[in-house]
């Protein structure tokens, strides 16, 4: 699959970045200002404006080569929204997008560390480790960061899962945010993100987040996720400016239509 390239730093974009969400609603306004509305779900579009500066020769070449491979706006590609949590239904761990080990018990409504009640109590009654994961159709050759808030009154070592990579982290009696960053599995076209709970352990978790970057940003509650298949370059032209030796600037406009 064609996938928008990460920079050598493992990020997808730089600041400032802009995203425009556009829905489509048909509105008939009557003479007394009463409105009759019809939502057009398929009419929604999303656009990103990514402004790059200080790109190295290699990064600029990679971006130019990718633009050539899509032939401008002709061919579509997968774009991972750099301003979003890639996972979906992150406050609803009982949603079917999550794959949950059969011995895991999930209970919602736990007070979370940011003042809401979107935390989950998770306990493993099995004799072996059990996991909760969400698998996304994203490239294995990317750098990702998985982060989650955890709390275990008895203390526990939990394992953050990122494809075949595993990061052990200690959960204590107070909420703390743990994260794990790694490359996915080379050549893979999907990546599973999640958390593994050791046998007999129980803990509270909140705010599972996956991002296509080396470090975690603030938690973003998400229902729809940030993986956009069939995104495309909005323009057929891409202009690079050399601002110095081994330094390039370019502005990229990417669009996605729900269709």
Partner 1 sequence: MSTFPQLKTGAVAQYPASRGLRFQNQVLRFLDGAEQRYRDSAGPLHAWEIQLAALDESEIAALEQFVLDTQGAFGSFTFTDPWDGKTYTNCSLATDEISLTSVKETDGKTSLKIIETRG
Is 83 among the residues that bind partner 1 (CB under 8 A)?
yes
Using rule CB under 8 A, residue 30 touches partner 1: yes
In angstroms, the CA 106 to CA 205 distance is: 10
Site for partner 1 in 105-124 (CB under 8 A): 114-115
Chain residues 187-246 in contact with partner 1, contact rule CB under 8 A: 217-224
Q: Which of 1, 8, 9, 22 binds partner 1 (CB under 8 A)?
A: 22
Instruction: Tell me which stretch binds partner 1 (CB under 8 A): 11-19, 101-109, 140-148, 173-181.
Output: 11-19
CB of 21 to partner 1, least distance (A): 5
Any contact of residue 41 with partner 1 (CB under 8 A)? yes
Q: Per residue in 188-220, is it b (16+ CB within 10 Å) or e — as a string?
A: eeebbbbbbbbeebbbbbbbbbbbbbbebeebb
Q: Cα separations (Å) of 3 from 110, 215, 231, 239, 254?
A: 37, 20, 9, 20, 12
Q: How far is the CB of 177 from partner 1 (least distance, A)?
A: 12
Lookup: tokens for 91:
């406050």
Q: In angstroms, how far apart are the furthest CA atoms of the chain?
A: 68
Is 42 a binding residue for partner 1 by CB under 8 A? The answer is: no
Enumerate residues 49-68 that contact partner 1 by CB under 8 A. Answer: none
Pairing of strands 156-162, 130-136: unpaired
Residues that bind partner 1 (CB under 8 A): 15-25, 27, 30-39, 41, 44, 83-85, 114-115, 217-224
């Amino acid at each position: 699959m064609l996938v928008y390239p990460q920079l050598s730093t493992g990020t997808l974009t730089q600041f400032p970045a802009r995203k425009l969400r556009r829905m489509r609603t048909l509105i008939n306004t009557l003479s007394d200002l009463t409105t009759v509305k019809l939502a057009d779900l398929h009419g929604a579009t999303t656009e990103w404006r990514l402004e790059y500066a200080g790109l190295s020769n290699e990064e600029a070449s990679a971006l130019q080569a990718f633009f050539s491979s899509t032939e401008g706006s002709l061919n579509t590609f997968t774009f991972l929204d750099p301003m979003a949590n890639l996972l979906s239904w992150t406050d609803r761990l009982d949603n079917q997008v999550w794959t949950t080990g059969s011995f895991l018990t999930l209970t919602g409504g736990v007070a979370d560390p940011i003042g809401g009640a979107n935390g989950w109590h998770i306990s493993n009654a099995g004799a072996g480790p059990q996991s909760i994961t969400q698998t996304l159709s994203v490239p294995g050759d990317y750098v990702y960061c998985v982060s989650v808030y955890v709390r275990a009154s008895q203390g526990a070592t939990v394992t953050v899962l990122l494809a075949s990579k595993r990061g052990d982290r200690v959960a204590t009696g107070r909420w703390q945010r743990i994260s794990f960053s790694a490359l996915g599995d080379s050549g893979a076209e999907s990546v599973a993100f999640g958390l593994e709970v050791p046998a007999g352990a129980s803990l509270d978790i909140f705010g599972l987040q996956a991002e296509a970057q080396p470090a975690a940003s603030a938690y973003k509650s998400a229902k729809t996720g940030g993986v956009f298949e069939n995104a495309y370059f909005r323009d057929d032209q891409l202009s690079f400016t050399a601002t110095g030796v081994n330094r390039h600037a370019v502005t990229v406009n990417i669009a996605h239509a729900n269709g």
